[in-house]
Amino acid sequence: MSSKPPLPGPTLAEKREKTIQLLIDSFASDRLSVEDFETRLDQAHRALDAGTLDSLIRDLPAIAAPAPVPAPQAAPAPVASPYPQVARARPDEVRERQVLAAIMGGVDRKGPWVPAQKTIIFALMGGAVFDFREARLPQGVTEVEIYAMMGGVEIIVPPGVAVDSSGIAIMGAFEDGPGRTAGLPPDAPIVRVGGLVIMGGVDVTVRLPGETAGDAKRRHREERKQLKRNRTRQLPP
């Protein structure tokens, strides 16, 4: 049986080209000094046999092939926010400060309106309602500073608005009702409520647009029942 003839090896010109390329790569990777690179390159051009070319690169490590560039990953699909979009006012629409008074009477702000960056309300034997569900809120923090004596203030915000409520109550209360949202995005609008209440109260509630107080209570009750059912299903048998 006749054996196959051996495959021809690289020609001297091909080996010279590979040697020169390895010298260039080694110089680019700081494995050869300028003087050493120039000397070896000159010898590679003048080499007359493969052995001489091999001797020029025998002490040089092989240059690893560059890692393949990973294909760009498709951007994840945006996750829809569970909260209604809150309208924002243009800077030229927003007053820096607003002072309101409810003295033996009432003040209501509801429907489409633009709150000031800071609203100060005085309630003496009267009340005020600030309904932010359809309001175009200013950028940043919307402040409501309350001074009430024998009066009360109700603040209604939609889901998606963070409320920072704190204040001093003497024979009264600052109350946060049910429905406060959790897990809001970092850029969620903020309504900051504070002040002083004497023999009165401040009530903060979260309601959907158009939702009455009774509807909100029923919805919160159903949400709590659904949450309890979900937790029961997750318990091990």
User: What does the pLDDT look like over 4-55, one tens digit per residue?
Assistant: 555 566 788 888 888 888 888 887 777 888 788 888 888 888 888 888 888 8
> Which tops the pLDDT comparison, 6 or 208?
208
- At residue 221, does pLDDT exceed 60? yes
Q: Where are the domains of the chain?
A: 12-57, 91-212
The pLDDT tens digits for 163-194 are: 888 888 898 888 876 545 556 777 788 899 98
DSSP string, 157-190: E-TT-EEEE--EEESSEEEE-S----S--TT--E
Amino acid, single-letter form, for residue 48: L
Give pTM, 2 decimals.
Answer: 0.57
77 pLDDT exceeds 60? Answer: no
Vertex 223, ends 222 and 226: CA angle to 5°? 85
Q: In whole angstroms, what is the distance from residue 60 CA to residue 62 CA?
A: 6
